[in-house]
Structure 1
Amino acid sequence: MEDRDLISSGAARVDWIRSRMALLADVRREFAASQPFAGHRIGMSLHVEPKTAVLVETLAAGGAELVGTGNFGSTQDDVVAYLNTRPGIRIIGRRADPLDQHERNVAAVLDADPDILLDNGGDLVAGIVARGHADGIVGGTEETTSGGDRLRGELHGLVPFPVIVINDSLLKAIGENKHAVGQSAVESFMRLTNAMVTGRRFVVFGYGWCGRGVAHYLRALGAKVAVVDVDELKAFEAALDGFRVGTGDDFAEWGDVFITATGRPGVLGVDLIERMHDGAILGNIGHVPWEIDVPALRASAVGHSRIVDALDRFDLPGGRHVVLLAEGRMFNLAGAEPKGNSLEAMDLGFLLQSLSLERVATRAAELAPGPQPVPDDLDRTIARRMLATLHSAA
C-alpha cells in the first residue's frame, strides 16, 4: 500500500472512531480553549491504533507537541501514516518492527527530550531512569497493570517525578479492563480461530480485572471456564462467581484453550504445555509477551508452521500439537485485523488519560514523586461525565 493509500485508510478509520468518542470530543474543545499543554512536549509509548489517534489529537489540540511510538507488535501502520500528517505530531515505528527496533524507537522518543511521559508498560520511565536525566521531566502517566507493577517493583524509589497510574482507577478497571478487554479478547479469539466458544473448555490464568472480564464474557457465550490464580482472595472470588478454580496442573489436561491475563512472566510453561491434549490453543492478553514461555515452546517443538496470520502450529514430541495466537503477544491487539477494546470503553479510558496529563502539566507540584493513583476528584468528575453520556443514549 502506498503512503497516500495508508494515509487515506488511517484518516477514514480515525474519522469513524472520532465521531463516536463523545467524551474526548468535549475535552478536546476544552483543551483548545485552555491550552494546558502549551510549551510541553509529550513523549508517548502506547498502542497506536485509531482510538489512540483520537487521544493524540486531543492532546495536540491542547497545545502539546507529541513524539511517540507504539508498543511492540501492535502498531497499525495506516494510523501512523495519518498521524504523521498532523501538525505537532511525530510517530516513530511500524507494525513489523522487531523487538530491537522497537527498543530503538523508544530511545528515539526519549532523544526528543519530552518533559511529560505517556507510558504503557514503563518503557519510557525506565529509559529515563537508566539515562539518569530526569531533571527536565514534569511527570507522566502509566496506562497498564504491567507498567504499574514495574514502577512499584524494579523502579521502586527511583522515579523522582509523579506518575499517575491510570490502571489504578476503579473506572478503568470496570469499564476498560473488565468489560472492554473481556469483550475484545473473546471477540478476537473467535475472529482469529473461527472456533466455537459454546461448550469449549477455557482456562483463564489470572482473576484480576482483565482475567475476570475474559472469564465472564466466555461464560456468557456458553463456554466452560476454569480460573487459575495464586492469590487466595481472587481464587475465592472466582469460586463464588461460579467458576472452576484450581492450579495449572489441575487443568492442563482438561482445557481446550488457555488464556493468560496476569502481567507476570512464565505463567504458562512447557511443563503444562507438554500435558495438554492435541490441538490445544494458547493465547495471551497481558501487555508484555512473556506470560507464555514461547522461547521454551519453540525449543521443545519438533516442528513449527504458520497456519495463517496470527496462528502458529507447534508440533510436539509424541505426535501432538498446540496452536499459539499472535506469537504470545496481546492477541486482541496484535492479531490479524486488530480491533482492540471497544471505542466507548477507550473513550472513558482516554478521558482519564487526558485529564490526568492535564493535572501533570498544570499542577505537578501538588503531586508526590513516583507512582500514584488517579486523583479522586478526577475519577468522580469522569464518572459523572460517563453517566451523563450513558443516560443521554438511553
Structure 2
Amino acid sequence: MTVLATDDLAARGAARIAWIRSRMPLLAAARDDLGRSRPFAGHRIGMSLHLEPKTAVLLETLVAGGAEIVATGNHGSTQDDVVAHLRAAGMTVFGSRDDSLDQHHANVASVLEAAPDILLDNGADLAAGIVARGETARVLGGTEETTSGGDRLRGELAGRVPFPVIVINDSLLKAIGENKHAVGQSVVESFMRLTNLMVPGRRFVVAGYGWCGRGVAHYLRQLGGKVAVVEVDALKAFEAALDGFRVASLLDLADWGEVFITATGRPGVLGAEFFARVADGAVLANCGHFPWEIDVPELMAGAASVIRMDEAIERVELPDGRHVVLLAGGRMMNLAGREPKGNSLESMDLGFLLQTLSLERIATRAAALAPGAQPVPDDIDREIARRMLRAMGADR
C-alpha cells in the first residue's frame, strides 16, 4: 500500500473536495449568506460526524459563518486525505481511518475537552459525553444527525439534556431526500462495488422498514432483486406488505435470504439464534449508524475460523461447515467499506443545509427552543424544500 506524505494527502483531499464543493449549490449560497451575517462568531462548534469530502464542505460553510471548529469522525469511516486538508486549513481535527474503537472514544473526549458551546453530533456521542462529564451548563445547544442518536436522546439521555438538540433525522425532507433515496441508492451501489455480485434474481432480506430500509428495499427491487422485509412495528410491516414485499420474521427468512442488510438502529438484530439458522454462504451487511446491529463479537466467538478476503470482506467459517460473509466488519457499509462514497452529493447538499440552518437557529435563538431532542423547525424545512426545488429546476 502506498503511504502518502501529509502534504500529498492534503493535496489529494483538496482536489476531491473541490469537485464536491462544485456540486453543492445550496451550501454555496449559504456560505455567502453566512459570510455576511456571521452568526457563529465567538462560538466553538464541536463535531462528531463522518469525515469525508461532503462533510468538509459543511465545515467550510460553518467557518465562513465565523465558527471555530473542533472535530472528529465516526469509527471506521474517517478519510485521511480529508482530515489532512482540514488540518491544513487550520481546523482542529482528531482521528484517522485506522483508529481503534478505544481511540475513537479518545477522539470524542478530545473534542469535549476543547469546551465547545455548540454540538454537531452523530449518534449522540458528544451529548452523552457532556452529560457524563456534568458540563451541560456551558453548552448552548446542538444538532443530531441520525435516528440512532435521536433514539439515545429520547431513551438513555431523556431528561438529562437541558439544552435544545435539533434532530435532523426527524425532518421529513431528510427522510425522503437523504434516507430513502440517497441511502437506498448508496447502500445498493456499495453492495455491488464491495462484492461484485449480481443484484437481479438474488434474494435479499432488509431488516427494518424505516426510511432507510424503505429506500434499500425499493432500490434492490428496482434492480431486479427478490426482496423480503423484517419489521417489528405492525404499521410499518403493513406498509411493506402493501408495497409488495414479502414480510416475515427474521428466523423464518434465515434460510431463504442470500443477503441480509440491517437498517434498524437497534443492537443485536442478527444474533446467535440467527447465526445458528442462516443459510450457508449468506452475506451480512449493515447500514445503520452503530456497528451493533450485527452481533459481530457473538459471530466471531462462535467461528471455527475467519478468512480476510480483502479489507471489506471476511469469510466466517462456522463450526458445522456453513460459512457467512461479513461486509465492512459490520460497520456502515456505504461509508466504512472499500472506496467509500456515501450518499449522493445532492442529498447531502440538502441534508447539510438542514444542519447549517439548524445550527444557525441554535446560535441565534437557542433560548426560544425547548430543552432536549426536537424536530427541525417547520419554517427551516419548508425554506430548504423551496431552495432544493429551485436547484433541481423542478419547475422547468
TM class, shorter-length: over 0.9
The letter of the residue matching 2:320 is G
Deviations 1:127-155 (A, max 9, x none): 00000011111100000000000000000
> What is the identity, as a one-letter code, of the residue corresponding to 1:220?
Q
Q: For 1:270 and 1:371, how far apart are their aligned partners in 2?
A: 34
Instruction: State the TM-score, normalizing by the size of structure 2.
Output: 0.98
Q: Which of 79, 86, 89 matches 1:86?
A: 89
Which residue type is aligned with residue 166 of structure 2? I
Equivalent residue number for residue 270 of structure 1: 272
Q: Spell out structure 1 runs of 4+ moving beyond 4 A.
A: none
- Alignment map for 1:142-181 (pairs within 5 Å): 142-181=144-183
TM-superposed deviation, 1:270: 2.4
Range with bigger deviation, 275-284 or 67-76? 275-284
How many residues of Structure 1 are paired with residues of Structure 2 in the alignment? Answer: 393
Q: Which amino acid aligns with 1:40?
A: H
* 207, 223, 226: which one aligns with 2:225: 223
Q: Distance between the aligned counterparts of 2:218 and 2:303, measured in 1?
A: 33
Residues 317 and 393 from structure 1, CA distance in 2 versus in 1: closer, same or farther, beyond 3 angstroms?
farther
Give 1:29-108 correspondences, 5 Å limit. Answer: 29-87=32-90, 89-108=91-110
Note closer, same or farther for the CA distance 1:97–1:393 as it changes in structure 2 (3 Å cut).
Answer: farther
Instruction: Report if aligned partners of 2:194, 2:338 keep a CA contact under 8 Å in 1.
Output: yes
Q: Distance in 2 between matches of 1:250 and 1:225?
A: 14
User: In the TM superposition, what is the alpha-carbon distance from 1:393 to its structure 2 partner?
Assistant: 9.1
* Residues 257-296 of structure 1: pairs in structure 2 closer than 5 A: 257-296=259-298
After the TM superposition, which residues 245-260 of structure 1 pair with which residues of structure 2 at under 5 Å, given as runs?
245-260=247-262
Match of 1:292, SS? Answer: coil
Output the CA distance in 2 between the equivalents of 1:111 and 1:370. 22
Equivalent residue for 1:356, pick from 358, 373, 378: 358
Deviation at 1:274, TM superposition (A): 2.1
C-alpha displacement at 1:392, in angstroms?
6.5
User: In the alignment, residue 355 of structure 1 is paired with which amino acid?
Assistant: L
**Of the candidates 379, 386, 389, which is equivalent to residue 387 of structure 1?**
389
Select the residue among 3, 6, 10 that pairs with 1:3.
6
**SS of residue matched to 2:357:** helix
Q: Which amino acid aligns with 2:266?
A: R
1:54 counterpart letter in structure 2? V
Cα distance in 2 for partners of 1:214, 1:66 equals 34
1:238 aligns with 2:240: yes
The equivalent of 2:216 in structure 1 is 214
Q: Does residue 323 of structure 1 match 2:325? A: yes
Tell me what 1:112 maps to. Answer: 114
What amino acid does structure 2 have at the position aligned with 1:303?
Answer: S
Q: How far does the alpha carbon of each residue in 1:94-144 deviate from its partner, in whole angstroms, 9 at most, with x for none?
A: 010000000000000000000000000000000000000111111000000
CA RMSD of aligned residues (A): 0.8
What's the counterpart of residue 19 of structure 2? 16
Residues 1:376 and 2:384 are matched in the alignment: no
C-alpha separation in 2, matches of 1:292 and 1:118: 27
Q: How far apart are the structure 2 equivalents of 1:273 and 1:189?
A: 21
Residues in 2 aligned to 1:304 and 1:365: alpha-carbon distance in whole angstroms? 53
Which has the higher mean CA deviation after the structures are superposed, 191-200 or 318-327? 318-327
Length-normalised TM-score, structure 1: 0.99
Distance in 2 between the 1:261 and 1:323 partners? 18
What letter matches 1:225 in structure 2?
V
Greater mean alpha carbon deviation, residues 236-245 or residues 78-87: 78-87
In the alignment, residue 138 of structure 1 is paired with which amino acid?
L
CA contact (8 A) 2:54 2:345 kept: yes
Q: Which residue of 1 aligns with 2:185?
A: 183
What's the CA shift for 1:5?
1.1
SS at match of 1:163: strand
Distance of 2:88 and 2:59 partners within structure 1:
13
1:312 equivalent to 2:314? Answer yes
Task: Provide the C-alpha distance between the structure 2 equivalents of 1:48 and 1:151, rounded to a whole number of angstroms.
Answer: 22
The DSSP-based 3-state class of the residue aligned with 1:314 is strand
Q: Quick one: which amino acid aligns to residue 258 of structure 1?
A: F
Instruction: Tell me the amino acid that sits aligned with residue 37 of structure 1.
Output: F
SS of residue paired to 1:304:
strand
Paired residue for 1:25?
28
- Residue 343 of structure 2 is matched in structure 1 by 341
Alignment-mate amino acid for residue 238 of structure 2: F
Match of 2:302 among 264, 289, 300: 300
Unmatched 5+ residue regions in structure 2?
A: none
